Amino acid sequence: MTRKISFRDALKEGLDEELAHDDNVVIIGEEVAQYNGAYKVTEGLWKKWGDKRVVDAPISEAGFIGMGIGASMLGIRPVMELMFYSFAYVAFDQMMNNAATCRYMSGGLINVPIVVRGPANGGTSVGATHSHTPENIFANMPGLKVVSPSNAYDAKGLIKTAIRDNDPVYFMESTVLYGQEWEVPENSDLEDGELLIPLGKADIKREGTDISLIGHGRAVITSLEAAKILEEEHGISAEVVDLRSIRPLDEDTILDSVRKTHRAIYIEENKPFCGVGAQIASTIQERVFDYLDAPVLRITSVDAPAIYSPPVEKEQLPTAADIVEKTLSIC
């Protein structure tokens, strides 16, 4: 049965199914219970599952993230919600130093099956301290997994897989996408009875032959908009590659696309310096240089703190027009 549901509701379905699947799954975060979540992702879950499975936390990210990491070492599978991923910096030692290294430091005896999820995006006029996109920072640390879905289908399949993973998974969303709808099948229509998407598997969102537009998160949606313009107005066939999982990274899908199109642009809402796109560009250059007919280009947000003014902030983030302009410069 074909149906459309929002990114928000897809996440909620995934969380609800995992609460049912495993009694060790708990949701912890600020306002996730009685208030139904700051973005209503957990709406109705506290009423359904009760105080022990959906738990409100105080405004102390270092405290409740640390508690979640400790609980995960003892067999609980906590899903921690950050109201903004900008607040992860308050729990940086817990998230980077402890969660990432515990399995290694224990010789593989202690796993940390925790998910930390929440919005990591600009574009909502909440200022520089609430608009960070730290996926590149967390992906830099061995032992962590970083996920950034671009649509409701992937959001549901990836959150379920992330919760079942035995390592820390940092799940980064976009508030701009929460209300948008996509087709997500009913479980009864799926061969295995549930939607699970493996970590480390990219997805071709649009087939093309002339250039590879590669990205993650909301930048994939912007890339699809640009691909449509390129085809309709310029006769250029753009392939859109969605990383879905930043770490582990599906290099094969990226490289196969570039071998086919011979050109590539990486698009992200992250800052340019040491961004995810820098890693992808280096990988392409090292692995498939002889297939390239043009330099690998990058489109990022402007390298400055997020601007509060709505019309100015829109100009700070990548647009479809930016992608079209860059594409035309190398096609």
Q: What's the whole-number average pLDDT of the chain?
A: 96
Q: Please, which pLDDT band fits residue 191 given cuts at 50, 70 and 90?
A: confident
Q: Would you give the DSSP letter of residue 88?
A: G
130 an active-site residue?
yes
The closest of 220, 213, 232 to 284, measured between CA atoms, is: 213
* Separation between Cα atoms, residue 44 and residue 269, nearest integer Å: 31
For the chain, list the domains and their CATH numbers: 4-189 (3.40.50.970), 203-330 (3.40.50.920)
pLDDT of residue 1 exceeding 80: no
H or E element, residue 322: helix 320-330
pLDDT of residue 290 exceeding 80: yes
* Separation between Cα atoms, residue 198 and residue 164, nearest integer Å: 11
Q: Where are the beta strands (DSSP E) in the chain?
A: 4-6, 25-29, 54-56, 77-81, 115-119, 145-147, 169-173, 181-183, 203-206, 211-215, 238-242, 245-247, 264-267, 297-299
21 an active-site residue?
no
Q: Mean pLDDT over residues 132-157, rounded?
A: 97
pLDDT of residue 35: 94
Residue type, 35: Y
pLDDT, one tens digit per residue, over 197-222 is 999 999 999 999 999 999 999 999 99
Please confirm whether the linkage preceding 78 is cis (ω < 30° from 0): no
Q: Mean pLDDT over residues 159-181, rounded?
A: 97
Phi and psi (nearest 5°) for 158? -80, -35
pLDDT of residue 188: 87
Exposure string of 40-74, with b = 16+ CB inside 10 Å and e = fewer, is ebbeebbeebeeebbbbbeeebeebbbbbbbbbbe
Q: Which of 13, 17, 18, 130 is catalytic?
A: 130
The closest of 280, 268, 284 to 322, measured between CA atoms, is: 268
pLDDT, one tens digit per residue, over 41-70 is 999 999 999 999 999 999 999 999 999 999
Length of the chain: 331
173 with 119: CB under 8 angstroms? yes
Which tokens in the block code for residue 288?
Answer: 């498939």
**pTM given for the model:** 0.96
Which tokens in the block code for residue 216?
Answer: 């993650």
Q: Return left, alpha or beta for 143; rule: phi > 0 is left, psi -120 to 50 is alpha, else beta.
A: left
Q: Please, which pLDDT band fits residue 192 given cuts at 50, 70 and 90?
A: confident
Q: Which of 13, 17, 30, 61 is catalytic?
A: 61
Q: Mean pLDDT over residues 85-112, rounded?
A: 96
DSSP 166-194: SS-EEEEE-GGGTT-EEE---GGGSTTSS
